[in-house]
Amino acid sequence: MQLAINPGLAVLEKLMLAAGWHSSHRRLSEAAPHLVQELNADDLITTLNNLGVPLSVAEARLSDVEKSDCPSLFVSPSGPIRAILDCKDSQILVCDTTDQTPAWQEPTRERGTLVKLERFGPKDEQATYESFRSITRGFRGVLPWLLVASLMTNLMGLATPLLVMVIYDRVIPTGSVDLVVSLCLAAALVLAADAGFRFARSSTVAYVGRVVEHRLGLALFRKLMSLPLEQVQKSEVEQQISRFKQFEGLRDIFSGQVLTTLLDLPFVLIFLALLFALAPPVGFLIVGLSVVFVLAIWMTLPVQQSLNATVSQVKARQQSYMFETVSQQRSIHRLGLGDVWRERHASLAWESAEASRKARRFQLICQAFAQSLMTIAGVGAIVLSTLSAINGTMTFGALIAVMSLVWKVLTPLQSLYANAPQVAGFLKSKQQVDRVLALPQEMVRGAASTHQKSFEGHIAFTGVTHRFPGATDPAISQVSLEIRAGEFVVIAGNNGSGKTTLLGLIIGLFKPTIGSVQLDGMDLRQIPTDDLRQSFSYAQKNPEIFYGTLLQNFRLASPTARVEDIESAMSAVGLADEVAKFPDGLNTRLSEAYRQTLPRATSNALALARCFARPASVYLLNEPNTGLDYMRKAAVTDHLASLKGHHTIIMISDDPAHIQLADRCIFMASGRVVSNDTGKNGRKKMEALIAAGKES
């Protein structure tokens, strides 16, 4: 089968090879942005980032490119995207999207963006984030600068109270206009510097937040996609969605005022020191109130966390209920359970509202308490400062300055008190992120220094037993068998006999509890999953059709498949005429509503055609005749006959037509292989065992 290669990806492949990175056409297509027909420069850079290839970007002229800059991607406002593969004797080796044949050229003075690919090294094998610390490691150098910016903004914050004090104590008594002008100019400079530092700090925090959110989202999603299937199946879909939403607390730390408050908090001591210098009694009052704030956080935070946890649990149950309602809506109406479902929802909605009310009420009480402390601080500062002014130990200007300093000390503390649950949530989410990122994942080769291995399809089971987590009995037990490359194998057996588990073990969806499964003499545990699964094409018993156009569904399974290959696969299952009647043919969008109108036979046939359109060494088919009409069953059987001998075909079926095609017949019962034979004897045994199973 020929592959449909985008010109941009063909250039990218040559570029990666020059840098020592190897990736297949299919892998490049999978890494490219989804549903993009024409790849521009940004799309190619995104593809390289998705493959984990380190990049460095700089503005340059073609004539300035040196050998150390190669290989690199050159992007200019005019002209095609070019790959500079090498540089020698004042010439550059170039290929582009219009002419993919590398050729030596004299460089011009054309200016553009040079994207250099770092050459592959051993350190690039594991470019994954294993903890939240590793995600933020690159920003450790930013923290000192943020602290310096916070120090400067807080020092600038002293200008306002000091200016007020000087005006009341020096300017007004002397009536000096020149002093007023000088102070105003100084204040303007200080305020301008303060605005500059605040802008720089805010921009840096926003940038760090954006990058951390992007890295965290990618790390979590990639971890989810690389987890073993058994690990993923431990949690329901809605629970996984809820867990992902909890991680938004990490993002909120950077996007809200919490980080700014934490950066300002250490410098409260500057204002407190000045407060003690101007009015010691007020300073002691503020210290006492600060202690009260700390005690309040210590006492109220556990209560608030408990209430918030209750709200989260109820919300999760409500979300799970809504998820079930939407997914089972047809069954609910068909069984007449609408009233029962509404009553259950009303109970859950009331419980959710009540939990939210309690949490919100306690939060408002805490806010009122904090506001009361601020009021006490203000009144206390006025009273103590007034007494000091009456006694002559404080000037009137100092009294006004003291009031400003009181707010500057207590405002960060009040903000910390209000955001304490958010800070605690951040710490909890960080721990959860670390636990998720530390989960063992499947081995993936990705873009590396070696080519992906091609497999012929020789499969061997040696003493394999597999027990699912929580199960008492093994799904399959002590299975030993051998399937030669190119064999047509039919597996049959009663429900629960372990047939589907056997296919899952072959493709690596499950890991054997005992024993080993080998492909071409290699243990599956030693083969990267992306190499392994690109050698298989799997049609499940209950296939899924994804949202998107029909063409996009096929391209998900085989990104490099040509339209001609897709049409050929549809003809092989008897779908060509029916698809031709779709509103837009291959470009028909399979929305949820449209998919509900498709007959089951059509949906199953589409999934089978998608399986056949994917080039593979081994085809795994789980009861492919399920839901198909007579004509399509015959078409599928004919296509399987044409594939026989060229590919390894392993299918679960008890159809006599499939059994007649089989080179090897395997019958399973209670997780064990009852019969495993080849040729005519194997087919006779299979037919006899199937007949005996139907009679019993």
Q: How confident is the model at residue 48 (pLDDT cuts 50, 70, 90)?
A: confident
Query: Each residue of 487-520: pLDDT tens digit?
Result: 999 999 888 889 999 999 999 888 899 999 999 9
Q: Phi, psi at residue 409, to the nearest 5°?
A: -80, -45
389-421, pLDDT tens digit by residue?
888 787 777 888 888 888 888 888 888 888 888
Sheet strand arrangement including 459-466: 476-483, 459-466, 514-519, 522-523
DSSP conformation class of 452: P
Instruction: Let me know if 339 is exposed, middle or buried by CB neighbors in 10 A (0-12, 13-18, 19+).
Output: exposed
Q: What are phi and psi of 683, to 5 degrees?
A: -65, -40
φ, ψ (nearest 5 deg) of residue 623: 50, 65
Q: Where do you find CATH 3.90.70.10 in the chain?
A: 7-124
- Name the most confidently modeled range: 243-247, 319-323, 436-440, 658-662: 658-662
Q: What is the mean pLDDT of residues 635-658?
A: 91
Quickly state the pLDDT bin for 315 (edges 50, 70, 90).
confident
Backbone dihedral angles phi then psi of residue 21, each to the nearest 5 degrees = -100, 140
Using CA atoms, how far apart are residues 661 and 648, in angstroms rounded to an integer? Answer: 13
Where are the CATH 1.20.1560.10 domain residues in the chain? 132-437
Which amino acid is residue 158, in one-letter code? L
Provide the token pair at 514: 């005992």
Which residues make up the CATH 3.40.50.300 domain(s) of the chain?
A: 459-695
Among the listed ranges 106-110, 136-140, 648-652, which one has the minimum average pLDDT value?
136-140
pLDDT at position 2 is: 44
Lowest mean pLDDT among 166-180, 269-283, 528-542: 166-180
Other Cβ atoms within 10 Å of 368 Cβ, number:
10
Is the predicted pLDDT of residue 301 greater than 90, yes or no?
no
DSSP-based three-state secondary structure for 12? helix
| CATH of 7-124 given 2.130.10.10, 1.10.8.50, 3.90.70.10, 3.30.1370.30 | 3.90.70.10
Region 253-265 average pLDDT: 78
The rounded distance, in Å, linking the Cα atoms of 276 and 261 is 23
Q: How far is 573 from 659, CA to CA, in rounded Å? A: 19
pLDDT at 1: 45
pLDDT of the residue at 495: 86
State how far the Cα of 576 lies from the Cα of 602, in Å rounded to an integer: 11
Q: Using pLDDT thresholds of 50, 70 and 90, give the confidence band for residue 4.
A: very low
Which residue has better confidence, 454 or 483? 483
Report pLDDT for 491.
Answer: 93
CA 548 to each of CA 35, 223, 402, 594: distance values in angstroms, whole numbers, following the listed order: 9, 25, 65, 11
pLDDT at res. 573: 87
| CA 18 – CA 398 distance, rounded (Å) | 71
The topology under which CATH files domain 132-437 is ABC transporter transmembrane region fold (1.20.1560)
Q: Residue 140 above 80 pLDDT?
A: no
Q: If pLDDT is split at 50, 70 and 90, which confidence band does 236 have? A: low
Q: Name the least confident of 17-26, 469-478, 575-584, 641-650.
A: 17-26
* Mean pLDDT across 126-148: 75
- Look up the pTM and report it: 0.72
The CA-atom distances, in angstroms, between 526 and each of 23, 80, 222, 442, 504 are: 19, 42, 20, 10, 17
Quick one: average pLDDT of 671-687? 89
pLDDT at 436: 80
Is residue 187 very low, low, confident or very high in pLDDT (cuts 50, 70, 90)? confident
CB atoms within 10 A of CB 536: 22
Domain 459-695 has CATH 3.40.50.300: yes
Question: Can you tell me whether residue 95 is helix, strand or coil?
Answer: strand
Average confidence score pLDDT of the chain: 83
* pLDDT score, position 53: 81
pLDDT on residue 484 = 93
Output the pLDDT for position 3. 45
251 or 604, higher pLDDT: 604
Q: Percent of the chain having pLDDT more than 90?
A: 14
